[in-house]
Structure formats: C-alpha cells, structure tokens
Structure 1
C-alpha cells in the first residue's frame, strides 16, 4: 500500500502541478479574437462616436441651444411685410365701376416691457444649461457602463480559461488513475470522484464559453461593432490605490462638479423662471409699433389716389381678469418649483451616498488585492503540500485536486478584485464630476497594452 501511495503521489504530483506564476493573469484560450489588442481608451473613443445614448444626449443639448435662441428671438424686433391685390366691383345709382386695389405695408413691433416673455427667455436659457449638464451626465454614465462591460468580458474569459485548465489537469489525472486502476493500483472511489469532476467541469466550460460570447456582445452593443480583439488586462506590477484625497474632499468636489447635480440645479432655475413668467401674466405689457403702408383703397373699398401712410405708436395692455386661469397657473408653477427643489435635494444626497460608497468600496478592494495575492501564494503552497502529503499516503487524490481547485479559485478572486477596484474608481470619478475622458485616461494607465496574459501551463 505504501508503494502504491508513492507511485500515485508521483503521478498526481505531475498531474496537479499547475504553473501559476504569482500575480500573473491567464491568457484568453478558446476565445475567438484577433491577434490585435485594444484597451479601454480605444473603446471609449469609439463609444463616443457610436453609443446611441451619447449621441442622443448631444442632440438634446444642441436642441436646447436652439430653443434658447428661439426664445431670445421673441425679445427682438418683429418685422413683417404684407402685400395684397384685390379686384373690386362697385355699383350704385350714380356709377358702376371695377378696379384693382393694391395694399403694401411694412410693420415693426418691439416689446418695451413684457415680463412673461423675458422670464420665458430666462427659462429656456436655464434649460439649455440643463441639457448640457445632462449630456455630460449621460456620457459619464455610459463610460461607467463601458468599463463595467469591459471588465465583465475579462472576468468571463478568466473564468473560461481557469475552468479549461482545471479540466485539462483533472482529465489527465483521471487518465492516469484509470491506467493505475486497471493494474489495481488505485481506488475505485478516486476514479469515480475524478470522473464526476471531469463531467462537471466539461459542463462548466460550455456555460463559461457562452458567457464570454454574451459579455462580448454586450460590449459590442456600446461601441457599435463586434469586439473580437484581445482586451488589455490590469497590470500586476502596480500598487493600486484610490487616491491621496480624503473622502471629505471627494464629497466636496462631487457636490461642486457632479453633472447630474448641476442639471438639477438648472432645473430649479428653470422652475423659478417659469414661475416668474407665470406671474408676468398679471403685469402690463408695453410695445412700440412702427408701420408704413401704401394703398389706393379707401374707406368702404372706395378707389382713392395712391396714399403713403407712416404710423408710430406705443401700446399698453393691462390684464384685469382672465377667469382665474393666471392665478391657477402661478399656483401650479409654484408647486413645480417645490418639486424641483426637492429633486435637487434628493440628487445631492445620492451624490454624497454614491461617492461614499464608491470610495469605501474601492479602498477596500485595494486592500483586498493585497490580501488576495497572499491568499493565492498560500493556495499554491497548500497545493504543493497536499501533493507531498499524498506521496506519503496521508491524503487521497481528491484532496490534492481540491487544493488545485482552491488555487484556481484564489487566482480568480484576485482578478475579480482587481476588476472591481478599477470599476469602482471609474464610478467614483463619475459621481465626483471628473471628465469621462480624464477618468478613462487615468485608469487606462493601469492596463497592460499589447501584452497577452500568461498561459496556464498544462502538465506533461
């Protein structure tokens, strides 16, 4: 029995010896990808030109600028040119005649005082600012989603690679146990356990391969094309940290710069201007009118000599009673202003919450990265110890393979923690109001361009 244990120990030592370099990241295998490598910044540039959410937000921002210009136009002079030609036939006791009449007029109207129109312009001016902030918020949100899907692809490929490597290792171990069992040098329980493990891993490979395809399709949805090239991975030679800023400084920066908050601040301004415009319905309006007219038609369509008329006038309109509709509208607009103010308060609280959550989560992830590296090193030592113990007959084959699986799990956890950290940093930048391009550029420095991940070696 001791001889059998030594023989199996030597064989399982070869079968379970997985060359996992500490901190190395596994390479994509079984993934349809080109030999080229792209990084987050490249996909961000493509998404800016292809993501429908970003394009739609830009269009709304441009529309807001045009609506502002339209509202401004109502404050400027309104000039109209009118022309008319009539055929007139007249009959009476003295005369029966037909003639053509011509009327030409040029009219200029300019408000001298119109509170409603002025406040309406202020409303659309604030709405244009709100659209600009909403466009920036949409771009920031889309950037976070792009990063999340980017690292989801990497995580899915990691999962596939690790499962495939574990399957190859377990299958070769099973082949060797089958050969030993045929010589009555292995236990039937080891053979059955290994067979069950192989079958389970084979099923997991199918799910993992499908998840890779699904995650890449989700990434393609944003950039507008199939993403088949390799993706740059997080470098393992860096000490990842959130920043030297304190949480309080992040919160202050977010409250001052967050585009969603700025959009809601503009929304409060919009509501205030709309309320003032509504109140303007109680105010008088004063306007100047200048007109010039040329006509050969007089009173009661009578033919007269061609006459040129020039008129300058000032008109005053004082609203007295409109059935209570103006007052009701003002009360409704006042409630709209309260709603906008409460929405602003809600968004401000959310900004503080999201910044706090992203900062603390990223900070914890940075510490977890170091802990995960130690856990991986411990798992490697545990696997080596299990192999040695098996050689002395102290553990069985399944214990050895369990230690191998734990090593893969530790590697997977390390990679996931790195991806969670980077995603949370981008989320933190988003809520703090950092420009999306600047945020992606800083994170992209943590990626390893053009360097494929290290292959998981198969035992020979």
Structure 2
C-alpha cells in the first residue's frame, strides 16, 4: 500500500517542467492499486446519473414557471413611441411635416381570482418538482447500492467458485494418487472430476456476471468501474434500528418525498379548479397612462399636448358558451384522479416501509443463523478432511462437506448484502435517506486488503 505514493513522488521528480504533477487517472488503475467504496461511487453518481440531473432540471423549471406566474400579479408597464413623416397635398397647398407620439402605461390587477389561483397552482407545482427531485435522488441512491452489492456478490461468487475449484482439485489429485495405488474407487475419481468440470463451467458464468454487474454500475456512474469493490468488514455487528415498525410507518407517511410530491400535486389541482371557477368572477384593474403627442386627427399636425389618464376597469363575464363550466368539471375530475393517486402512493409507502423493516429484521436473524451454519460447515469440512486421511470417509463425503461450506459462505454474504440494501430502502421510504445515510453504511465496508471478508479463505 506504500508503493502508490512513492510512485507519485517519483513521477513529480521526473517531470520538473510541469507546474504541478498530473493527478493519477483513476479510470486506468488496476484492482490491486485502488479500491472503490459505496460513498465514492455515490458522489460520482450524484454528478453523472441522468435521472437525478433530469429531476433537478425539472425542479428548476418549476421554480421558473412559478416566478413567471407571479409576474402576472405585478404591475405591467409598457412604453411606446411613434415617429411619422406626412405629406399632404390638396387643391391649394402641399406640405410636409413630422409627428411624434410618446406613451407610457401601467396596468395593475386589483382583483383577479383566476390570476391569483394560477400563481398558487404553479407554486404547488414547483414544490412538487422539488420533492420529486429529492425522491429521484433517493431512488437513484438505492439503485446504486443494489447494483453495488450485486457487483460485490458477483465478485464473491467468482472467488468462491475459484476457491471451491482449487479445494476440489486438491482432493481430486489426492484421490488420483490413491487410485493409482488401487486405494480408491474409480467412482470417487469420476465424481470429483465431474465436480471440477462443473466448477470450471460455473467460473466462466461467474466471470460473465462480474462483467455484466460492472456494466450496470458504469451505467450510473458514467465511467468504467474496474476497481476492486470494498467488502463488508468482519468486525461489525449489523442490527436493525431500535424504533418499532409503527414509528417507521408514521415517519414515512409524514416525510416521504414521493408522498409530499403527490400532496403538492393535489394542492395544485385544487388551485386549478379554483382558477377555472375564477372565470365566473368579475375582475378589477387599475390603469394609468401618460401621453405626449402632436398628432391630430387623420395624422394632421396639431399643437403638442400632454394627457394623463387614470381609470378603474371592471370586467364582468356573462356567458362564454358553457366552456367555463365545462373546464371546471374537467379539472374537478382531474383533481379526483390526483387524490386517488395520492392515496395509492400513501398505501405504497406503508407497504414498502413495512416490507423493508420486516425484511431487514429477518436478514439479521438470517445473518446470525448463516454465521453459525458457516462455522459448523467449516468444522465439518475439517473433520471430513481428517476422516479421509484415515480412511473413515470417502471422497464423496469430502466433496459434499466442501460444497456445504461454500454454500454457507454464500448464504452469509447474501444475507449481509440483503440487510444493508433493505436498510437503505427503509430509510428511502421513510424520507431519511441522505448522504449521511450512505456514509453510515460505508463505514461497514472494508478500507484495506486485510479487512476483506473473503481474503483469508480465497487465498488459501
């Protein structure tokens, strides 16, 4: 682990013409030189995941539309001017002259229900976009964690298959030597050889799954992920949070961003209904204008005059062919649909929170049972090896014990990955998934080669 900083120092001394040494290209380092963890990939994904970037872009668009709607409530000021060159020719005279007109006007809504409710609608839509962006970030984080542990499980499977193949090949070599001395049966040799060949086929499939799982990670991060992934440390105790299920459900119903987004959508639908009903209300506006002009009737030249006008305008809708009432009915139906969508999201939040909590709890029990099963399988494998040396058990029994040991190791690792993933899912639905949540999980991952969960077993 000391070689990498020394190489950087030597590179800086060899290139004295550069102002500062070039940073190492993390895209080309090998697995033995660099280890990627969940937190590092999370920070990269926040800047590269198209789903997250699109969600935040939509949120910014919603804020801009809210400001646009608010601008309709503020005074509307406009200025205009015109310059004319006129030629007049009659029976007695021909003349040419220039005219000028300058005008400034201001209009302000004093009462306009439709404009006010339009602003409220876009205000709620902007809040909906913000909550959807938060939910998209949380969903992308869970997706990243799931793909991370799938990739980690693929690496585990490859290493376990390789280790099991080495152990089985070792037993096959021993049985071959015994068979050559007529001290073992040919069926034992064939069984072990068949298992070695099957493990060779499994290794090919495992290598392919490693490549596929890394491609899934690359899709989110936006670059090839070729580094070794940090694995779960062996010196940690994975436990479910102490709060009860009812507390988590209440917390999720109150804080889930997807639920808040649909609540804002419902509030926007209510505002849209009120806006449509505003078409039946009168509107009141203030208009101020000032004008300076020397243009007379029919563009004749007139003495320059200044005029100032203040007026109150009242507009009362009487009949619009029934379109206003039809729009109210349509938006009311849209509002009912949004209300049902809100209820569907609420039920989904309750279901997903309950499922994640119960699954995380069962995963803890499964981890405990899998660890005990692994210890028993390791002891059984050792006993089978010793029994084979003394002729008490045959090669098939040794093969079975090796298979059981590695199956137990797979179950333990899978249970650990399921627990961490479900813990992140639980926090996601409860509205508590943040960068700190990922950091808390990242503490459970190994930061050095010595702490890797499979290092000792796979190098034997």
User: Structure 1 residues 79, 221: CA separation in 2 closer, same or farther (over 3 Å shift)?
Assistant: same
- Out of 305, 318, 321, the residue aligned to residue 320 of structure 1 is 318
Could you tell me whether the CA contact under 8 Å between 1:34 and 1:228 is conserved in 2?
A: no
Match of 2:457 in 1: 456
How many angstroms apart in 2 are the aligned matches of 1:127 and 1:405? Answer: 57
Q: Which moved more, 1:319-328 or 1:439-448?
A: 439-448
Structure 1 pair 390–178 and aligned structure 2 pair: CA distance change class (3 A) = closer
1:42 corresponds to which residue?
Answer: 40
TM superposition shift of 1:180: 3.2
SS at match of 1:69: helix
2:423 to 418, 422, 425: 425
Cα distance between partner residues in 1 of 2:411 and 2:132? 36
Root-mean-square deviation over aligned CA pairs:
1.7
Q: Is the 2:291–2:306 Cα contact (8 Å) retained in structure 1?
A: yes
Q: Residue in 2 aligned with 1:403?
A: 401
TM-score w.r.t. the length of structure 1 is 0.90
Question: 1:10 aligns to what?
Answer: none
CA contact (8 A) 2:83 2:100 kept: yes
Q: 1:32 to 1:218 in 2, by over 3 A?
A: farther
Q: Quickly say closer, same or farther: Cα 1:89–1:32, change in 2 above 3 A.
A: same
Q: Describe how 1:185-224 pairs up with structure 2 within 5 A.
A: 185-224=183-222
Shift in CA distance, 175/253, structure 1 to aligned 2, threshold 3 Å: same
Deviation, structure 1 residue 379: 0.9
Among 338, 350, 353, the residue aligned to 2:351:
353
Partner deviation per Cα, 1:96-138 (whole Å, 9 max, x = no partner): 4333322211111111111000000001111111111001000
CA distance in 1, matches of 2:93, 2:458: 115
**Which residue in 1 is equivalent to 2:268?**
270
| Cross-structure match for 2:223 | 225
Structure 1 gaps of 5+ residues are: 1-30
CA distance in 1, matches of 2:32, 2:181: 46
What residue in structure 2 maps to residue 23 of structure 1?
none
How far is the alpha carbon of 1:267 from its aligned partner?
Answer: 0.5
SS at match of 2:418: helix
Cα deviation 1:13-48 (Å, max 9, x = unaligned): xxxxxxxxxxxxxxxxxx962422232122212211
Show CA shifts across 1:124-171 (max 9, x none): 111111111001000000010011011111111110000001111222
Deviates more, 1:56-65 or 1:91-100: 91-100
1:133-212 superposed matches below 5 A? 133-212=131-210
**Equivalents in 2 of 1:34, 1:279: separation in Å?**
68
Q: Contact 1:81–1:107 at 8 Å: present in 2 too?
A: yes
Q: Is the 8 A contact 1:44 1:143 kept in 2?
A: yes
In 2, Cα distance between equivalents of 1:300 and 1:217: 76
Cα drift, residue 458 of structure 1: 6.0
Go from structure 1 to structure 2 and tell me whether the alpha carbon gap of 1:267 and 1:457 turns closer, same or farther (over 3 Å shift): closer
Higher relative contact order (CA 8 A, sep 6+): 1
Aligned partners of 1:185 and 1:239: how far apart in 2?
47
**Structure 2 counterpart of 1:15:** none
Tell me, in whole angstroms, the C-alpha distance in 2 between the residues paired with 1:155 and 1:162.
10
8 Å contact from structure 2 (residues 424, 433) kept in 1: no
Q: Pairwise mapping of residues 58-457 of structure 1 onto structure 2 (< 5 A)?
A: 58-391=56-389, 393-450=391-448, 451-453=451-453, 454-456=455-457
CA displacement at 1:75 relative to structure 2: 0.3
Pairwise CA distance, 1:435:
3.6
Q: Indicate the SS of the match to 2:74.
A: coil
Retained in 2: the 8 A contact 1:169–1:458? no
Task: Please give the per-residue CA displacement for 1:197-220, whole angstroms capped at 9, x wherever unaligned.
Answer: 111111111111111111112112
SS of 1:35's partner is: coil
Instruction: For residues 275-332 of structure 1, give each alpha carbon's deviation from its aligned partner in whole angstroms, at most 9, with x where no partner exists.
Output: 1000001111111111111222112222212222211111111111111111100000
| Equivalent position SS for 1:290 | strand
| 8 Å CA contact retained: 2:232, 2:452 | no
Equivalent residue pairs, number: 429
| In structure 1, distance between residues paired with 2:99 and 2:353 | 75
Greater mean deviation of Cα atoms: 441-450 or 268-277: 441-450
Equivalent-residue separation in structure 1 for 2:303 and 2:211 (angstroms): 86
Structure 2 unpaired stretches of 5+? 1-28
